[in-house]
A and B are shown apart, each in its own frame.
Chain A
Amino acid sequence: MAKEEGLQVTRRTTRYSASNNAVEPTKPTEFYKPTLNDLGFRQQPLGFEDLLSCFPGRSTQVLELLRLLGPLNSPMFPVLVYGGPSTGKTSVTLQVFRHLNRPFVYSSCVTCYNPRILFESILNQLWFHRKNSGHSYSSVKRCERPSDFVNYLREASESVIDNLKGNSGKLSSKLSGQPNGTMVYLVFDNLERVRDWDKSSTILPFLFNLCDILKMPEVGLIFISSTSPDTYYLNIGYLEPIPLYFPDYTEDDLRQIFMANQVNRKLYTSFLDVVLRPFCRVTRRIDELSAAFSSLFKKYSEPLSDMEVAPNEDMKRRLFTHLRPHITTALNETFQVRSQPLLKAETNQETKKKNSSRMSGIREDFDKMDFHMSTSAKYLLISAFLASRNPATLDASLFDSTGVSDSRKRKRKASEKSMEQKKMAEQELLMKGPGTFPLERLLAIFQCITSLAEDSLDEEGSDELTIEGGSGGLMSDVLLQLSSLCNANFIIKGGSCPLEGSTRYRTAVSEDLALKVARSLKFPLSKYLYRR
């Protein structure tokens, strides 16, 4: 089941969606009632060899997990599966349960983002309750406190285990695909999120000690976390779970993973020979590598007319020289998902038959903004950037009423002391970051800039867009725009100034982005930037 996109994007069918195709929300009476079978993995059971071949490079971890889970009906210590992101922890755990066909309850601390939702999700699954519109999406029991959770969990587990025990004797259970054994396993995924919760100081020790508190050997606990156990510092003595480490993939494992499900293996091998080593120096995470490789492979196989061909040495060399300029650009970008017009622009450029022009063409595409913003939002962003960058005392001289600014400093001979001061100031700028500004200053700068814009438009005499009624058209929803920019993290809302009590804002955009925005508006940003 290893896909090319990496193990994080496995098609993990939920138990409900796998087992029923007929939940129609329009008919309120027909709701799917989960049964005991849903605690197991409702797909074809997986053989041991298949399990190992699904996960190249993970055979030691699979064997260790099987060893810790033990034979059927053996009690287990809590296990903490940890490792970097996208190393296959969740998928290995779930596939092991599929192979063993034992009942388990899965809950992720990403979707269950506070204790109540976490507890209720587990209890819902154990009581075979599915939230539906029939009882207005409520859980089977309201459970907020850990003490209630322990009691309910004990009840629920006991009933499930009785069910399992009752059915395990009958032969028909094996035929109907019921899970094996008389133990129930609780899987907690993404445990590192719990550290950021409000009540993490009580919930984390509670979860780790759940084994002791519950005192039921028929319930097994498995925690999955992407940070190592020493990041869970707890003050009280708790039962440390047995750690199971998933190291990042080595290069050979990566090669095996990428080679799986490839149509033309020889071609892809030669491709990997070229790109794998340099990219592994930057990152070894498989999701980032696969994103980079998929686009690169398209470029690699462009000159080939026939995709099925197995390349010989000569062709490999040709393909490599074709790909080489793209590798360096690809190494320096992260997750560039090209939209359609950019691709077309590239094909236009290829007809020019000059390597250098193609390179500059690509760079030009980077200079354009690749998302849309309204004009007033763009002006607001620029004014925020200026407000953060320039000291407040300079505003008067930069934005005077004539709309003409002259911020070019006269070139003075730089003395030694001023050079040092410049260096210190640069250091400070690096450390402190962009400055804060109050709302009034932002609006004042915005007014000046937009009035400038109108003037320039009037001068050009363009009849494209006439801004109605002075700046009224642009000012109307500035505050709305401000809050949407804050939500998009372009502007960060800081604490209030202790003297005045008004909130202060701070820009969070880089200079490149501000320049891009300014260029799209044809606004001379560099004239207004204060250069020390």
Chain B
Amino acid sequence: MIAMLRECGLAHKTIIFVLNEFDYFAQGKQRLLYSLLDAMQSVTSQAVVIGVSCRLDVDQLLEKRVRSRFSHRKLLFLPPSKEDTERFMEHILSLPVDSSLPHNYTVEFNARLKKILSDERFKELINTYLSFNSTIGHLVRFLFQAVSYLDLDVGFLSLENFKTALSSMQRQPKLECIRDCSILELYLLVCMKRLEVKEQNSYNFNSVMTEYKSIHDSFQTSDYYARNVCLRAFEHLLQHQLISFADNRGHNQSVEFRPVKLLISLAELHQGLKSYRLCPMFYLDLIKIGFWILPLVQACKLHKIPAFDSFLVCYVNYYCCGASFLPLKMVKVAFSRQLS
């Protein structure tokens, strides 16, 4: 390569090396980068190396010897401004006048498009969208979806197309996953959340099963299934990626003993349970019990309040701060369990 560079230098030809996804080149030993930059410095050649990357700190990734040969010039490309985006959209969506389509149609189409683009509701919609993601690639994808909603009978774009495209972009995959789960799987998720609230940092399938059993004992639920069925539900949760293994030791142990962690937050779980069509309200209450009462009881223990009545006073006070109420029976049961 050095010989080639020399040749090109003698022939007064400049070579530009463009390295896309530059951070991938900066992994590992960076031999390519080093030899390239070295060749440029030591040979009479006219060459430029331009690296393109998404990471802002990519020059921190370079090794010392490479960085010393780097000229430290950085060009920052910002996402386009709002005006530029609007101009871009108009340009990309309007039909060219000299295409093979009939002339009247293209004129009409472009006129309607202009009307939509200047509509206030459309501007609002685009603002919502851009606050979510303002890269051009994503915008093109959004526009493609809007165009695909085009009603072929009508033949013109309408504001509804853009609205439907926007709503289809706003998805929440974890929420969808929760809605897909069966009731037993939700139950296991609730058990794991309670274990987390109890500050048991690492837990595995067996500890979840003990929690499951203890809930069944104290609350007499109807959903009590055998261990292998629960193991299968557990594996479904792993497949859905709602939980995952917390260790990397891999296949040294069977599924039941490997520690797991939840990949959804309490808020997501709560929201998912609320929107689940047939979810027993009981599960929501279970989480609420775990989340609110347990710390409350622990606090009561610290202050040495033994009686249930005084605890109830604290409970009511706490709940006046904005949490939701639970049936009294559940409160009693949870309280007695905690104190035992």
Query: Quick one: closest B residue to A84, CB to CB?
Result: B180
Chain-B contact segment, one of A46-54, A160-168, A235-243, A265-273: A235-243
Bound Cα distance from A71 to B236, whole angstroms: 37
Count of residues in B whose CB is under 8 Å from the partner chain: 49
Q: Which residues of B contact A245 (CB under 8 A)?
A: 171, 176
Given contacts A85-B239, A280-B182, contact A239 B137 (CB under 8 A): yes
Specify which chain A residues have a CB less than 8 angstroms from the CB of B183 in the assembled complex.
280-282
Within 8 A of B (CB), among A203-248: 226-231, 235-237, 239-240, 242-243, 245, 247-248
Q: Is B152 an interface residue (CB 8 A)?
A: yes
A240 cross-chain contacts in B, Cβ below 8 A: 138, 141
When the two chains form the complex, which single residue of A67, A230, A333, A427 contacts B226, counting CB atoms closer than 8 Å? A333
Q: Which residues of A contact B254 (CB under 8 A)?
A: 433, 489, 492, 508
CA gap between A49 and B247 in the complex, in Å: 50
Residues of A within 8 A of B54 (CB): 235-237
Asked whether B229 lies within 8 Å of A235 as measured between CB atoms, the reply is: no
User: For B179, what are the chain A residues with a Cβ–Cβ distance below 8 Å?
Assistant: 247
CB of B144 within 8 A of CB of A332, answer no
Q: Are B23 and A235 in contact (CB under 8 A)?
A: yes
Verify A242–B145 contact, CB threshold 8 A: yes
Partner-contacting stretch, out of B203-211, B305-313, B318-326: B203-211
CA distance A231 to B223 in the complex (A): 30
Residues of B within 8 A of A229 (CB): 173
Q: How far is the CB of B234 from chain A (nearest CB, A)?
A: 12
CB distance B141 to A237 under 8 Å? no
Assess the B184–A431 pair: CB atoms within 8 A: no
Q: Chain B, 232-251, contact with A by CB distance < 8 Å: what is the 0/1 string? A: 11001001110000000001
Evaluate whether A281 and B171 lie within 8 angstroms (CB atoms) in the complex, with A67-B148, A227-B241, A236-B24 already known. Answer: no
Specify the chain A residue showing the minimal Cβ separation from B145. Answer: A242
When the two chains form the complex, which single residue of A236, A247, A288, A432 contacts B180, counting CB atoms closer than 8 Å?
A247
CB distance from B116 to the nearest CB of A (A): 20
Give CA–CA (A242, B148) in the complex, Å.
Answer: 12
A453 at the interface (CB under 8 A from B): no
Least CB distance, A200 to chain B, in whole angstroms? 14
A303 within 8 A of B: no
Whether B257 is near chain A, meaning CB under 8 Å from some CB there, is yes
In the complex, A280 Cα to B276 Cα: how many Å? 14
Cβ contact within 8 Å between A283 and B182: yes
- B7 contacts partner chain A, Cβ-Cβ < 8 Å: no
How many residue pairs link A and B with beta carbons under 8 A? The number is 115
Among residues 484 to 517 in chain A, which have CB atoms less than 8 Å away from a CB atom of chain B?
Answer: 489, 492, 494-495, 506, 508
Which residues of chain B are near A202, meaning CB under 8 Å? 24
**Closest residue on chain B to residue A426 by CB atoms:** B210
Of residues 46 through 85 on chain A, the ones whose CB sits less than 8 Å from some CB of chain B are 67-68, 70-71, 77, 83-85
Given the complex, which residues of B lie within 8 Å of A70, measured CB to CB?
148
CA distance in complex: A163, B234 (Å) = 50
| B253 & A433 in contact (Cβ 8 Å cutoff) | yes
Q: Any chain B CB within 8 A of the CB of A339?
A: no
- CA–CA, A83 and B33, complex, Å: 42
In angstroms, how far is the closest chain A Cβ from the Cβ of B253?
5
Query: Cβ of B132: which chain A residues have Cβ within 8 Å of it?
Result: none
Residues of B within 8 A of A331 (CB): 225, 229
For residue A175, give the distance in angstroms from its CB to the closest CB of chain B: 27
A83: chain B residues at CB < 8 Å are 180
Quick check: B256 and A433 within 8 Å, CB to CB? Answer: yes
Contact A228 B226 (CB under 8 A): no
Whether the Cβ atoms of B233 and A495 lie closer than 8 Å is: no
Q: Which residues of B contact A434 (CB under 8 A)?
A: 257
Q: Are A77 and B141 in contact (CB under 8 A)?
A: yes
> Of the candidates A236, A284, A334, A494, which one forms a contact with B228 in the assembled complex, judged by CB atoms under 8 Å apart?
A334
Are A433 and B232 in contact, with the CB atoms below 8 A?
A: no
Question: In the complex, which residues of chain B have a beta carbon less than 8 angstroms from the beta carbon of A237?
Answer: 54, 135, 137
Question: Chain B: which residue is nearest A87 at the CB level?
Answer: B180
Closest-by-CB residue of A relative to B140 is: A77
Q: Does A130 sit at the interface, judged by CB under 8 A?
A: no
Task: Kindly state whether residue B67 has any CB partner on chain A within 8 Å.
Answer: no
A252–B39 alpha-carbon span in the complex (Å)? 69
B14 within 8 A of A: no
Contact A430 B210 (CB under 8 A): yes
Whole-angstrom distance between the alpha carbons of A307 and B257 in the complex?
48
A378 at the interface (CB under 8 A from B): no
Contact yes or no, A281 B229, CB < 8 A = no
Cross-interface CB contact of B144 among A77, A283, A432, A492, cutoff 8 Å? A77
Bound-state CA distance A247–B178 (Å) is 10
| Bound CA–CA A248/B183 (angstroms) | 13
**Structural contact, B173 and A432, CB atoms closer than 8 A:** no
**Contacts A/B (CB < 8 Å), 11 sampled:** A84-B180, A236-B21, A236-B24, A242-B141, A242-B145, A282-B225, A283-B233, A331-B225, A333-B226, A333-B228, A333-B229
4 additional A-B pairs beyond A229-B173, A242-B141, A282-B184, beta carbons within 8 Å, are: A85-B239, A227-B240, A245-B176, A331-B225
Interface residues of B (CB under 8 A from A): 21, 23-24, 54-55, 135, 137-138, 141, 144-145, 148-149, 152, 171, 173-174, 176-177, 179-180, 182-185, 202-204, 206-207, 210, 223, 225-226, 228-229, 232-233, 236, 239-241, 251-254, 256-257, 259
Measured CB to CB, the residues of A under 8 A from B are: 67-68, 70-71, 77, 83-85, 202, 226-231, 235-237, 239-240, 242-243, 245, 247-248, 280-285, 288, 331-334, 427, 430-434, 489, 492, 494-495, 506, 508
- The 3 A-B pairs with the shortest beta carbon distances in the complex, nearest first, are A433-B257, A332-B226, A228-B173
